[in-house]
Amino acid sequence: MPNPEPEMPTVQPETPEEKAARKKENRQNFWYSVRDNTPLLLFVIPGAIWMIFFFYIPVFANVVAFKDFQFDPNGFVASLARSPWVGFKNFEFLFSSNAAWVITRNTVLYNLGFISLNLIISVFFAVVMSQLRNRRLTKVYQTSMLLPYFLSWVIISYFVYAFLSPNQGLLNSMITGNGGKAISWYNAPQFWPFILLFVGTWKGIGYNSILYFASAMSIDPTLFEAAEIDGANKWQQIKNVTLPALVPLMTLMTILAIGNIFRADFGLFYQVPQNSGSLYNVTSVLDTYIYNGLTATGDIGMSSAAALYQSLVGFILLMTSNFIVRRVDPESALF
């Protein structure tokens, strides 16, 4: 529409032609910018496709928790579409059984145990190692402490088996050698909380103590000099210089671990007790429960409900803990 007075700042409604032209220009701009960014876009694409298939689609596949899932021979979409909705039935099933309580309790309690043991022991070792006189020896210690961290849970379970095997294990031969009665370790649930806490902590200490060690070594040495001149003894120096310098890292690690309190290390709880049924009451955690539901009992509905329960609570915990970190120390927040 021709405008007789172009200087008047009135808002004219777009004609269809103008609208089309603008859209075309936008589209052109979009394609120009794509063309300009093509090489970098190509770099991103493999990773982005992976994320779509291994994250975004699975996230939506979580709707199976609200369905009575059946595998359909016609593929994924058909399986999802043809499985009937059942609402919250899977969740009702899950939470009406005793299992939900047991696995939640086990997961949270074990993780709380790991968090506190890890914190105390690895800070202790880090502080001690930062004060040892022989640097080369310290390196040797660190290298050996790191070994378990690099091994898989399958290997670790063989290690544990060498000590706990009912017939040949070292512990049983020591017990019977002293006139005691052999213990069937893999059928004795009362010992497993300690065994699992011990093995899990033992595997991770090397890694965690190196983290704290690096932090302790970056403390300005003049602080120690000043403390020494002020007459502080070794213990006072550790208490008033080293430990306060480690507090930010300790806070960060703990809060992040609390964010993950609903996730258990599947390998530890599945491999080390060798999935022994008589231990389930003390070794069953969310992850092993979901796995057993998926494969052994084939109850996809219930295990997907448990998986969604785990993911949602984990998400809430992560957001909350990150929120707290951001309040305490914005630099160490995850996002």
20 binds another protein (CB under 8 A): no
The nearer residue to another protein, 277 or 281, going by C-beta atoms, is 277
**Considering the rule CB under 8 A, would residue 331 count as an interface residue with another protein?**
yes
Name 189's Cβ contacts closer than 8 Å, sequence gap at least 6: 278, 279, 281, 282, 283
Residue position matching structure tokens 């994320």? 51
Q: How many CB atoms are closer than 10 A to CB 68?
A: 13
Joined together, the tokens standing for residue 176 give 């019977």
Please tell me the count of residues contacting another protein according to CB under 8 A.
106
Stretch 113-152: interaction string toward another protein, x if CB under 8 A: ------------x--xxxxxxxx-x--xx-xxxxxx-xxx
Counting every residue, how long is the chain? 335
E strand or H helix at 75, and its extent? none
Q: Which of 155, 117, 133, 104 is nearest to 271 (CA)?
A: 155
Q: Does 290 bind another protein (CB under 8 A)?
A: yes
Q: Among residue numbers 245 through 264, which ones bind another protein (CB under 8 A)? A: 263
- Using CB under 8 A as the binding rule, whether residue 112 contacts another protein is answered as no
Residues 39-58 that bind another protein (CB under 8 A): 39-41, 43-44, 46-48, 50-51, 53-58
Q: Nearest Cα to 220, choosing from 240, 245, 247?
A: 245
- Taking the complex as a whole, the smallest distance from the CB of residue 24 to another protein amounts, in Å, to 20
Residue 85: strand, helix, or coil: strand
**Window contacting another protein (CB under 8 A); options: 1-9, 93-101, 105-113, 284-292:** 284-292
Give min distance, CB of 211 to another protein, in A. 6
Instruction: Report the residue number, 2 or 330, with the smaller CB distance to another protein.
Output: 330
Q: Both ends of the chain: CA-CA distance in Å?
A: 51
Rounded least distance, CB 9 to another protein, Å: 32
User: Which residue lies nearer to another protein by CB, 21 or 217?
Assistant: 217
Q: Does 91 bind another protein (CB under 8 A)?
A: no
For the CB of residue 213, give the shortest distance to another protein in the complex, in Å: 9
What span, in angstroms and rounded, lies between the C-alpha atoms of 101 and 25?
Answer: 59
Residue 90 binds to another protein (criterion: CB under 8 A): no
Closest distance of CB 272 from another protein, Å: 11
Question: Of residues 262-281, which lie at the interface with another protein (CB under 8 A)?
Answer: 263, 266-267, 271, 274-275
Out of 251, 257, 314, 326, which residue is the one contacting another protein (CB under 8 A)?
314
> Is 84 one of the binding residues for another protein (CB under 8 A)?
no
Sites for another protein among residues 158-217 (CB under 8 A):
158-159, 161-163, 165-170, 172-173, 186, 202, 205-206, 210-211, 214
| DSSP for 205-271, written as a single string | HHHHHHHHHHHHHTS-HHHHHHHHHTT--HHHHIIIIIHHHHHHHHHHHHHHHHHTTT---HHHHHH
**Could you tell me which of 316, 262, 257, 256 has the C-alpha nearest to residue 285?**
262
Torsion, Cα 5 6 11 15, to 10 degrees, reads 100
